[in-house]
Structure 1
């Protein structure tokens, strides 16, 4: 499943380090697309261009303040993920809480970075998240798996599992989807792969594949969807570098 992607990665690695100008250009493009699509999946109504304008510091008339914060917060969460990678910090619950806190800043400060204190349902899903009293144990188990078993998987499989297992736990009242996609891409970027931007157009297939994993333990569809999105992530590099 991953041979063609690993071949692209090898070609990209041979061109590294990229010039600061190319890195900046690719980063700006990525942040806008990733922020737009991840927020749109969750119901944010900003367009791609409106997202770009807001991230440049301009207010868009007729759009809710919450939607402005969602764009700004997501951009800042990406910056934080990049900082984790630069500092080579190990995966931890502290990081997860920090990412979530950034996602909900100025939107729901009371619950930002705090595990939920009530039981919830995942809309449209056929599985139910664990009881809130089990969250500390479930999150500890996730980190323990990561520290002891995760290295055995291909980076794309590992990233997909981090995403799916985190969403299955659903530790926060809100913002689990955005947080899970940031955690998935933290894994991919650590390993030198482009981030996986799940597009809003693929939302239905994304939800269905996730549900297959969480409800039935069928991992193939979601892993394939992530793999396809990672492959798409090489296209900006191909356009700029002629890979």
Structure 2
């Protein structure tokens, strides 16, 4: 027998007859810790449940050498919320460990299509996992069911269609047809085929999930984004906003404010001019011959945000929301026919690691998201939600950020509240807050950042271009780069 070495042992392991004496002595010396039946660890401090859950796949075959991971676990690829791990094994007795319960059942052993898994077990193929989960199971003793619900199956299939397309979904159908006779699951295969057909619009079968019903009705949506919108809606409802009423401004003051709103909104997106060049474009009608499209971007944005009456228009229904969104985008992108002014995107888009809503899900996601907006009354709450709704969906091929901020400020103007301008020096804070929300559902940084930007807008003297520019320069508003910091006026 090789020399017993604690350092060579896995973090969590199951003892056997060969090492049991050495393990017992190591426990007595305080070098190992017992966690459960024959289960030990050399980690003397961490919570046992966390240790076991982190290593569960290495432990399966120590208790069930012939294990095939099946049912719910094979579909979810992790322990259930109550710690259940479902297996097919000749051994019938359950094994309870900290944070985990191995729950075996009788069933057909591994097929050729079932794959080797971490730790030496086998994992049911995706096709087999779907078939097994089409068989209903009952909750016993308050424990989670062995298989997922029909609604969850529909949601998973809808996600498959969204992320991998119809071709991948049809490949799954073919694999299901091949596997079903080997398991005696022909009835389940027919039911699964009907569900997939209903989602793809080729069959008429009853569906139960919101995502499935929406897809079958021809208006599929992105449920992950809807979850984010619900999170933001709840956070905004709990936010007691500080009312920042916009002062009465004359035409010149409104024009100065609108100019810098358009200037910064375009600069953030990479349309960069000096203030003097932009002022000539907006106020003198000078269109640089070498950059006509960029100039029209600024001019189009200015024309929208400087029109006080038009900016007071806010949507009262989903159709009116789509009309406003498309019209404002068309005005900004008028000089870029290749970007489809006023037309929703035909190809997917992303910014860095953030992948936006797929083209075929745009209208459905906007529709579902708009339902939350209608339940918000406070202008600041509506403005934040509106900007995020457009930004997260990213419905157009280009110009999404500018249109999102226009829609945001229209909500504020309609409510007689101060606008929100994002100076160049605040770009990193703005994009960072959006990313934190997109990736992690963090709402506080986003709400806080926009509230600060609104206060900043209200601190600027917009009476003349020179007074506004002087205060913006004093606040470092034009600074570029990740290290740029906006200085807020007291």
- Distance (whole Å) between structure 2 residues aligned to residue 213 and residue 168 of structure 1: 10
Q: 240, 249, 269: which is aligned to 1:42?
A: 269
Higher strand residue share: 2
Q: How does 1:143-222 map to 2 (within 5 A)?
A: 143-147=370-374, 149-151=375-377, 154-222=378-446
RMSD: 2.5
Structure 2 length normalisation: TM-score?
0.42
SS at 1:56 equivalent: helix
Computing the radius of gyration from Cα coordinates, the structure with the larger value is 2
Partner of 1:117: 346
With 54-63 and 176-185 compared, the bigger mean Cα shift is at 54-63
Partner of 1:230: 454
Shift of 1:79: 4.2
- Distance (whole Å) between structure 2 residues aligned to residue 38 and residue 166 of structure 1: 15
Higher helix residue share: 1
Partner of 1:78: 305
SS at 2:354 equivalent: coil
Q: Are the equivalent residues in 2 in contact too, given 1:93–1:143 (CA < 8 A)?
A: no
Q: How does 1:6-85 map to 2 (within 5 A)?
A: 6=243, 9=245, 18=248, 22-59=249-286, 64-79=291-306, 82-85=309-312
Shift of 1:84: 4.7
SS at 1:198 equivalent: coil
The answer to whether 1:103 aligns with 2:332 is yes
The number of equivalent residue pairs is: 223
Shift of 1:26: 1.5
Q: Are the equivalent residues in 1 in contact too, given 2:354–2:439 (CA < 8 A)?
A: yes
Q: Are the equivalent residues in 2 in contact too, given 1:46–1:63 (CA < 8 A)?
A: no
- Deviations for 1:109-160, whole angstroms, at most 9, x for unmatched residues? 66111111111112x2x3311221111101111222222x222xx4323211
- Distance (whole Å) between structure 2 residues aligned to residue 95 and residue 41 of structure 1: 23
SS at 2:335 equivalent: coil
Structure 1 length normalisation: TM-score?
0.82
Q: 1:116 to 1:50 in 2, by over 3 A?
A: same
